[in-house]
């Protein structure tokens, strides 16, 4: 029996289809929904984020987040450069949402604890400050 009350689940499913469709992800700018953009980051620390980036992200995004990891050459589109103006301008909530949901070759990281995902965002901010 189909449930119609789970609006959130439906929205999540639609987002999943939109981001994972073979024809959908390759084109156009990748935008997070407005309510995701406005999410507040409850975390201050970076330790869990730094560790996670080294294990989970550096192969594609590079150790400094410049999008130049060893796996990057094989990917289309290329992994984002976290130190670019474009990524700098995005809100914490927007980055959190993109990390959570993924798109195309960018895997979803829903399975990581929320705390870790927010700390990844904080760590990305430190990379943005350290290297231009
Ligand atoms: C298998 C390679 C791969 C891995 C591993 C990976 N990414 Fe990505 N990432 C990508 C690609 C490719 C894109 C660009 C996707 C697009 O534009 O459609 C991307 C895009 C992003 C973006 C979006 C930037 C923007 O605003 O447009 C963020 C943020 C990001 N990745 C963070 C992460 C984090 C954090 C991790 C580790 C937890 C990670 N990625 C692991 C390949 C990867």
pLDDT at position 28 is 81
Could you tell which of 36, 53, 80, 88 is best to mutate to test the pocket of ligand 1, judged by most ligand atoms within 8 Å of the CB? 80
**Which ligand 1 atom is the nearest neighbour of the CA of 76?**
12
pLDDT in tens, 28-48: 889 999 999 999 999 999 999
Cis omega (within 30 of 0) for bond into 77: yes
**Which ligand 1 atom is the nearest neighbour of the CA of 90?**
26
d(CA 129, CA 112): 25
Instruction: Tell me, in angstroms, the distance from the centre of ligand 1 to residue 25's CA.
Output: 13
Residue with CA at minimum distance from ligand 1 atom 32: 99
Residue closest to 81 by CA, chosen among 57, 102, 101: 57
Segments of the chain with pLDDT less than 50? 14-25, 131-132
Token digits of residue 55:
């294990």
69, 60 contact by CB (below 8 A): yes
Token digits of residue 110:
């829903």
pLDDT at position 13 is 52
CATH ID of 7-130, from 3.20.20.70, 1.10.260.40, 3.40.50.1820, 1.10.760.10: 1.10.760.10
């Amino acid at each position: 029996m189909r449930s119609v009350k789970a609006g959130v689940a439906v929205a999540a499913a639609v987002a999943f289809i939109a981001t994972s469709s073979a024809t959908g992800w390759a084109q156009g700018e990748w935008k997070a929904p407005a309510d995701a953009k406005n999410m507040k980051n409850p975390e201050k620390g970076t330790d869990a984020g730094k560790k996670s980036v080294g294990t989970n992200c550096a192969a594609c995004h590079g150790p400094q987040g410049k999008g130049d990891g060893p796996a990057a050459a094989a990917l289309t589109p290329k992994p984002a450069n976290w130190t670019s103006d474009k990524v700098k301008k995005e809100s914490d909530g927007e980055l959190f949402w993109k990390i959570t949901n993924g798109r195309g070759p960018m895997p979803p990281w829903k399975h990581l604890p929320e705390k870790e995902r927010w700390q990844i965002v904080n760590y990305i901010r430190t990379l943005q400050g350290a290297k231009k």
